[in-house]
Structure formats: structure tokens, C-alpha cells
Amino acid sequence: MSSSPSLNTWSDALSGFSIGWFPLGLVIVAVIPLVFIALYALTYGVYGERKISAFMQDRLGPMEVGFWGILQTLADILKLLQKEDIVPTAADKFLFVIGPGILFVGSFLAFAVLPFGPAFIGADLNVGLFYAVGIVAIEVVGILAAGWGSNNKWALYGAVRSVAQIVSYEIPASIALLCAAMLAGTLSMQQITVMQTGPGGFMHWFLFNNPIAWLPFLIYFISSLAETNRAPFDIPEAESELVAGYFTEYSGMKFAVIFLAEYGSMFMVSAVLAVAFLGGWASPLPNIGGLHLNDMTSGPAWGAFWIIMKGFFFIFVQMWLRWTLPRLRVDQLMYLCWKVLTPFALIAFVLTAVWEIYR
């Protein structure tokens, strides 16, 4: 492993940096993912999704603000900033205000264990994967607070559906990630990634170096769609039924924060998928003979590039699915979770264990 000596060097150096008593380096470590979420949500998340959806529906999408509508998101942000920040009279003010906060913090905290390349990770926990799965579940509390606090029938329905859905889908998702943890023999996000690096590029990824991983990979991907409330599992915010689901009553910047949290967790689950099965920051290019493509495309900066690209690819697949599939009914959603994904996840779990013993 050529890159292992430099593992976490950047983030370690940053976290050791402080001015007097003030740990400025730690703040910077925390700010980097925040800035990343904001930038990516602004460009790829909103503008990209609008364009991709438009192209899939034979439309042009935003075209007016800037060249090919590229400044459309900035115009939207300006609009949201100017909007009145309404707290309904009948709402539970505390829950209403704290809801978006918990939502965003929940999705943002998971970025702490996300390795942005071999040299940078917020916190290289030895239970990183477990932490990521667990901390994302905090979002449920935020959704419930927002939906209940709004004192609105649609918001409450959306929140209840969302909680039921996320809690249910945690199970197949966790079992599927457990398969990856078994293959790696560790829960640390960095170590899982390191296990998948090598001169063969993509051939070392768990998805390709054993015959079973495609099953937990698919199961985790499907469950992650449900956990982030993306189509076809967007029943918590089903536009045609519930207006906007649990954030029906939100306006202005609170609405923007909820959206930011949603895009943050979209990237989070995509990155976790990439780390668990597709080698995280590992380069997909193999060394072919004398051509050392893998060595050339490895390193801290390349690592950041690869994991972000892998995350973006799965976000593209999420968008692609969103504009392809109709929304599931609540009973179909539960059927898929409990009767299809969970049994298959258990089968995958057993098969992975057998593979690990006898390979």
C-alpha cells in the first residue's frame, strides 16, 4: 500500500494546529465538509438535478439566469434569503425551530468519519461505519420534530411516514454494511478503504473481488434511497399527496437548511456506499504492465477526486431513478423492506460469512 504511510497526515496536522487555546485546526477540519456540502448542493445538487431531470424529460431546464441558467441556484438562494421566516402561530415553536437544526446536524455529523482521500478524514474512528449509520438515524428525530412541531396534517403524515420508513430501512442497510465490514475485518472507514486499494485498481474493490458483494451492495443502495427519502421512496414528502411532507410549513432559510441536510445525506449515503463496496478514495485504474496508472492516480488529491466522483456517480443514479420510477405505496414500501430486502440481506450476510471462512 503505497499511500498508507501518509494516511490521515493532512487531518492530523490540521487538528494539531491551534492559536493559543483556540483549536483553529479542528474548526477548519469541520468547516471543510460544510463548505463542500454547501458548494456541492448549490451546483450539482440543485442545478445538476434540475438539468438532469430536464434532460431526462426532454426539457431544457433553467436557461435564463446566466449561461445555460448556471446562476439559477444563486438567484434561488437570494430569493430564499429575502423570504419571511414564518413560524406558524399554532406551531410548537421550539420543535419547529429545532427540527431543521437537528436534521442538518445529523446529516453533517456523519461527514466526520468520511475519508476525503487518504490524507484527510475528520475523525478516523475505529467504529466509523457504525458511527455513520448511527448518527444518520438522528435525522429521524429532526424529521419528527419538524413534522410534529408544524401542527399541520400533511407535515405530521410526512413525518410519521418518514420515521417508519427510515427506521425500517436501517435494518437491511445495516446488515448490508455489515457484509462490507466482514469483508474488511474492520469498522474504520479508512481501513475499509485501505483494504480495497492495490495495484489492480477496481479489481480490489469488494464489489469485484468476491462473488457475493453485489447483493449487499444493491440492498444498501436501495435502502439508502429510502433513508434519504429519495424517489421511489419519497412518500414522506410525496408532492402529489402531502404538499411537501414534513417541511410543508417551512419557508425561507429553514427550508433551505432542510434541503441542504437532504443533499448532505444524499452525498453521505453515496460516499458510504463507495467506501464500503467501491474502494472509497482508491483509484479505479489498474497498473497495466509498465503503465502505472494506479500509482499515477493515487495520492491525497486524487483520493479526494475519486471519492467525490464516486459519490457524485451514485447521486446521479439516485436522480436517474427518481425520474424513472413512480412512488411506492406505504404497504409496498414495507413489503419491500421486510419481505424482500431484509431476508436477502440476511442471506447475503451468511454467504459473506461463508466466503470469508472458506476463501
Smallest distance, other proteins to C-beta of residue 58, A: 5
Kindly tell me which residue out of 52, 175, 219, 271 binds other proteins, with binding defined by CB under 8 A: 52
Decide whether 94 or 320 has the Cβ nearer to other proteins.
320
Regarding 347 and contact with other proteins (CB under 8 A), the answer is: no
State the Cα–Cα distance between residues 89 and 357, nearest whole angstrom: 61
Decide whether 1 or 325 has the Cβ nearer to other proteins.
325
Decide whether 26 or 63 has the Cβ nearer to other proteins.
63
Regarding 346 and contact with other proteins (CB under 8 A), the answer is: no
Residue 22 three-state SS = strand
Smallest distance, other proteins to C-beta of residue 226, A: 15
Decide whether 58 or 84 has the Cβ nearer to other proteins.
58
Kindly tell me which residue out of 60, 74, 330, 354 binds other proteins, with binding defined by CB under 8 A: 60
* 167 close to 133: Cβ distance less than 8 angstroms: no
CA dihedral sign, ordered 116, 117, 121, 126? positive
Regarding 56 and contact with other proteins (CB under 8 A), the answer is: yes
For other proteins, which stretch binds (CB under 8 A), given 3-11, 49-57, 162-170, 284-292?
49-57
Decide whether 191 or 318 has the Cβ nearer to other proteins.
318
State which of positions 204-233 bind other proteins (CB under 8 A). Answer: none
Concatenated DSSP letters for 280-333? Answer: TT--SPPPBTTB-HHHHT-SHHHHHHHHHHHHHHHHHHHHHHHTTSPPPPHHHH
Q: What is the 3-state secondary structure (H, E, C) of 260-290?
A: HHHHHHHHHHHHHHHHHHCCCCCCCCCCECC
Kindly tell me which residue out of 57, 93, 185, 329 binds other proteins, with binding defined by CB under 8 A: 57
User: Nearest CA to 318 among 45, 29, 27?
Assistant: 45
Regarding 63 and contact with other proteins (CB under 8 A), the answer is: yes
Decide whether 201 or 232 has the Cβ nearer to other proteins.
232
Regarding 58 and contact with other proteins (CB under 8 A), the answer is: yes
State which of positions 270-329 bind other proteins (CB under 8 A). Answer: 320-321, 323-325
User: Nearest CA to 165 among 106, 259, 231?
Assistant: 231
CA 68 to chain centre: 28
Concatenated DSSP letters for 43-109? Answer: IIIIIIHHHHHHHHTT-----SSSGGGTTHHHHHHHHHHHS-----TTS-HHHHHHHHHHHHHHHHH
Smallest distance, other proteins to C-beta of residue 353, A: 23
Residue written as cell 414534513? 246
Binding site for other proteins (CB under 8 A): 52, 54-60, 63, 320-321, 323-325, 339-340
